[in-house]
Structure 1
Amino acid sequence: MKDISSNLSRDLIGYGKEAPAVQWPHGANVAVNIVVNYEEGSEYSHEMGDGENDSLAEVDYAFPAHMRDLAKESMYEYGSRVGVWRLLRLFDEYDIKATFFGCAVAFERNPEVASVAREAGHDLLGHGWRWEEHWRLTREEEAGRIKKAVESFKETWGEAPSGWYCRYGPSINTRELVVEHGGFLYDSDAYNDDLPYYVEVNGVRHLVVPYSLTYNDIQGTRSPNLFLDYLKRGFDELWLEGSRGRPKMMSIGLHPRLVGQAARTGALREFIEYAQAKGGVWFARRVDIARWWAEHSDEFASGRANNDS
């Protein structure tokens, strides 16, 4: 472990040339975590008093920033009105348990999504009080947002989230604040590995379960074929590595307003069928991966040491 608390020093080495000898449940070659980024209704908008319009909608039209963009707002509404329900039905059909990266205000504005998702067995990671960049906030503001979000989740989801992930990336204070808040098993504010790892934060051993923007519905033109190609190619290569004794994890990021459109949901359906037919895959919630790592990581490290000797 490296102590990041004092200077946020970068770790460009990680596990090095020999990754841990991971053993996923049932001997799976790949642990796949499907993530639903539920942000609709919490994004920047004039309706929310922000004085700006957000991006990452179906079409990023060059609309004047000082005016309220009703078209873009309605594109976000599609995700909460239609897209998220299409995804939940798909997960039920294939018995997939996903992870909701939830924004507290988004659940407050559509609490049925939170209650139905939890009842279906999906897990929750805190994605902010709103869908906002934490690097815009002071340390005190950010600490307040984390506390406010957790209290909100207890009301809408029914319990506190097991992990934390900011919009795009953390501030220089985020990881310390997550640890100081307590109650989080892990955070996902990193994009630097295919496996979980530990860091030391102010003397506390803290778990990081990295996320990825590569296998994500925001890629490229958001074409269903392009999205499916990304998923299949990534899965096949990771599956091959796993079959050779080095299993990894794969995070698939979804947005209901994007992949919740029927054509892209069809591509996601095709990938799920493809992966399940191939076998050797553990479709897991993020909390399941975090717990598995916490319980077995010492065994993995020992296996690596034995293989290196």
Structure 2
Amino acid sequence: MSERNLIGYAGSRPEIIWPNGARVAISVVVNFDEGAELQVGDGDPASELVGEVMSVVPKGQRDLGQEQIFAYGTRVGLWRFLDVLKNTDTPATFYMCGRAVERSPQLARAVSDAGHETACHGWLWRPNADYTDIDSEKNDLIRAGEAIKAATGQKPVGFFCRGSESSWTRKLLANEGYIYTSNAFDDDLPYHDSSGLSLFHIILIPMI
């Protein structure tokens, strides 16, 4: 049986003192994965099923509707986000897929130039748990990091993948110099995992 921590703080929740007397800390994040989702039109074997609506196009056929839904994110949505963040003087983290950045490097650069963190969202918009071997996941992680650095001049130190990590994701992140991952859903405070997955000096910043 796996060593899962189901007890947590056991009634002894730590007292957190946030800067400036704040009662809560909020991390604003935006996913930048448009162009990294699966699309038959991009040469992928199938198009993404999950979007603002579920795809009804048979597998193997091009889904123009899903392509347009995803394209809205970078054609319009990204710029709206940047305007709102600028007008409210709010820093944010943008989780970027490598293939999305490779296809639209000028957009990634605009995010970086606006002073926001550019973090890694994997190479494709896919769960890392889908990887069946460590080498494939490692190669995609390196490829994504290089695409982000090439576009923004900054090597990402944060990570968040779609869905679930693989059993070796955190080890790979640590080896590549990442500081934190947000694939944590079992707390509302940053923490170090003691289950054995995070014995690699990786901080977990929950995505709640």
The amino acid of 2:205's aligned partner reads: V
Q: Percent identity?
A: 37
Within-5 A mapping of 1:255-294:
none
Q: 2:134 aligns with which of 125, 139, 151?
A: 139
Q: Deviations for 1:144-196, whole angstroms, at most 9, x for unmatched residues? A: 11111111111012111121111111011111211222x21111111110000
CA RMSD, aligned part only?
A: 1.7
Alpha-carbon offset, residue 8 of structure 1:
5.8
SS in 1 for 2:31: strand
Q: Aligned equivalents of 2:75 and 2:19: distance in 1? A: 36
For the pair 1:15 / 2:38, whether they are aligned, the reply is no
SS in 2 for 1:190: coil
Aligned partner of 1:257 in structure 2 is: none
Q: Aligned equivalents of 1:51 and 1:45: distance in 2? A: 8
Aligned partner of 1:164 in structure 2 is: 159
SS in 2 for 1:85: helix
Q: Aligned equivalents of 1:55 and 1:26: distance in 2? A: 44
SS in 2 for 1:121: coil
Aligned partner of 1:246 in structure 2 is: none
Q: What is the TM-score of this pair, normalised by structure 1?
A: 0.63
SS in 2 for 1:199: coil
Within-5 A mapping of 1:26-105:
26-105=20-99
Q: Aligned equivalents of 2:105 and 2:120: distance in 1? A: 15
Bigger proportion of residues as strand:
1
Aligned partner of 1:306 in structure 2 is: none
Aligned partner of 2:174 in structure 1 is: 179
Return structure 1 stretches of 4+ with deviation > 6 angstroms: none
Q: How many residues align?
A: 205
For the pair 1:208 / 2:172, whether they are aligned, the reply is no
Q: What is the TM-score of this pair, normalised by structure 2?
A: 0.92
Q: Aligned equivalents of 1:8 and 1:148: distance in 2? A: 32
What are structure 2's unaligned runs of at least 5 residues? none
Q: Rg bigger for which structure?
A: 1
Q: Which has the higher contact order (CA 8 A, sep 6+)?
A: 1
Q: Aligned equivalents of 1:90 and 1:202: distance in 2? A: 35
